[in-house]
Amino acid sequence: MNDLFARHRSVLPDWLALYYEDPLEITHGEGRYVWDAEGNKYLDFFGGILTTMTAHALPEVTKAVSEQAGRIIHSSTLYLNRPMVELAERIAQLSGIPDARVFFTTSGTEANDTALLLATTYRRSNTILAMRNSYHGRSFSAVGITGNRGWSPTSLSPLQTLYVHGGVRTRGPYADLSDDDFIAACVEDLKDLLGHTRPPAALIAEPIQGVGGFTSPPDGLYAAFREVLSERGILWIADEVQTGWGRTGDNFWGWQAHGEHGPPDILTFAKGIGNGMSIGGVVARAEIMNCLDANSISTFGGTQITMAAGLANLSYLLEHDLQGNARRVGGLLIERLRAVAAQVPGVREVRGRGLMLGIELVKPGTDQADPDAASAVLEACRAGGLLIGKGGGHNTSALRVAPPLSLTVAEAEEGAAILENALRGIQ
């Protein structure tokens, strides 16, 4: 393992982050478990950053991939592609967007890049509204609208970005307000901002901020924003890269918690739809999707093999009601973790919904972030046989818990017990 780590460091960028003091090589997985190169077994509560959405080595997906690989793997978008059309039809219907068109990419970064291209072209404006503490990818345009300093390496950008309040409920100048007053204050802030700038193209927002530590506003904030934006012709882009496909339990899409004024103008997705295969995409109304006046293709977006995986995975998810499972098992898990947190002074908050939960750590008796404690808990969980993630806008002091959506009650309790031991160890 040390040899592989040395080889990694000698040939890959210094900024390519690795978890753990002794980095981990995962060699195989099954269900909700993975194994490392030394034969150690772990319960996976992070799923390759919310990407192994259904289960490791899900037979329905591996069978679909194998059968498609035996026919043809790739031909590009220059040719008709039956699996791509079939998956696009299903996603268009599920999106809730009227007269929807779907464009497939290889990642969430590329999906958000495409959404920005569409919005700025359609609106003839390069000004973008984004949320503080947000993350939208690692491309030049995506880092330019990312409101999380830890993941935005440059201030140079082809876009003018204006950051809006509201993505973090329990920090910032409005944290002490009631939910209704919080929403009202954020709306007034948005109106004030719009009075000082040229008309923006769009607001891009994650319904639950992923890299930001699974923070979210009160339900209805983006509906209230949408009312203000619609009056001015400004588009709403819902970044569903981490919240899509039923992970939040209560809804199939995160935007539906804010859907009073209908679906977003543009929706982006990625990660879980392929259960590990590289799929991203954009859904938009036809008039927006078709606003480009130049030719375009995608070499690797929508390949037959990834579309076969997406179709099989989506079918499994819907047929087995994994959204309902996320709601039921996630509800039990968050209550279990909140009971533990009440006894650990270093836990500021346990938040989230469904199987998308965040645990924010602070120095006891303060609101000061404690990234060292987060790293210590991450290591202790690994030692106990559990893999989790990290995030947060305050020096990466939040733990991220996002297991595959097929998690059982027994596995949730197993993981919670390991987390409890790790959290008690930081007292």
- 107-158 pLDDT tens trace: 999 999 999 999 999 999 999 999 999 999 999 898 889 988 887 888 888 8
With b for 16 or more beta-carbon neighbours within 10 A and e for fewer, the 256-276 pattern comes to bbbbeeebbbbbbbbbbbbbb
Show the domains of the chain with their CATH numbers: 2-58+321-424 (3.90.1150.10), 63-319 (3.40.640.10)
Q: Which tops the pLDDT comparison, 192 or 392? A: 192
User: Is the per-residue pLDDT at 1 higher than 70?
Assistant: no
State the Cα–Cα distance between residues 408 and 298, nearest whole angstrom: 38
With a CB cutoff of 8 Å and minimum separation 6, the contacts of 249 are 323, 324, 326, 327, 328, 330, 331, 353, 354, 355
Question: The tokens 């120095």 sit on which residue?
Answer: 363
User: Is the per-residue pLDDT at 47 higher than 80?
Assistant: yes
Whole-structure pTM value: 0.95
Question: The tokens 């924003």 sit on which residue?
Answer: 225
CB-based contact 145:219 (threshold 8 Å): no
pLDDT at 394: 67
**Rounded CA Rg of the chain:** 21
User: Is the per-residue pLDDT at 367 higher than 70?
Assistant: yes
Q: Which two tokens stand for residue 12?
A: 């890959």
Q: Which two tokens stand for residue 312?
A: 């099989």
With a CB cutoff of 8 Å and minimum separation 6, the contacts of 358 are 213, 214, 215, 349, 350, 351, 352, 391, 392, 398, 399, 400, 401
- pLDDT band per the 50, 70, 90 thresholds, residue 354: very high
Average pLDDT over every residue of 201-206? 98
pLDDT at 154: 82
State the Cα–Cα distance between residues 322 and 313, nearest whole angstrom: 11
Lowest mean pLDDT among 48-52, 137-141, 190-194: 137-141
User: Is the per-residue pLDDT at 193 higher than 80?
Assistant: yes
State the Cα–Cα distance between residues 373 and 366, nearest whole angstrom: 14
Helix spans in 145-254 (H): 179-194, 221-231
State the Cα–Cα distance between residues 173 and 285, nearest whole angstrom: 36
Helix spans in 124-164 (H): 140-144
% of the chain with per-residue pLDDT over 70: 100
- 212-269 pLDDT tens trace: 999 999 999 999 999 999 999 999 999 999 999 999 999 999 999 998 889 999 999 9
CB-based contact 126:120 (threshold 8 Å): yes
Give the phi and the psi of residue 131 in degrees, each rounded to 5. -90, 145
% of the chain with per-residue pLDDT over 90: 92
Average pLDDT over every residue of 261-284? 96
State the Cα–Cα distance between residues 269 and 242, nearest whole angstrom: 8
**For 240-361, where are the E strands, in sequence order?**
266-269, 280-285, 347-353, 356-361
- pLDDT band per the 50, 70, 90 thresholds, residue 298: very high
Count how many residues are written for the chain: 427
Helix (H, G, I), strand (E, B) or coil at 70: coil
CA 367 from chain centre, in angstroms, equals 25
User: Is the per-residue pLDDT at 42 higher than 80?
Assistant: yes
Q: Which two tokens stand for residue 400?
A: 């991220």
User: In whole numbers, what is the pLDDT of the chain averaged over residues?
Assistant: 96
CB-based contact 116:145 (threshold 8 Å): yes
Distances (CA, A) of 177 to 83, 183, 185, 221: 49, 9, 9, 14
CB-based contact 134:209 (threshold 8 Å): yes
- 77-102 pLDDT tens trace: 999 999 999 999 999 999 999 999 99
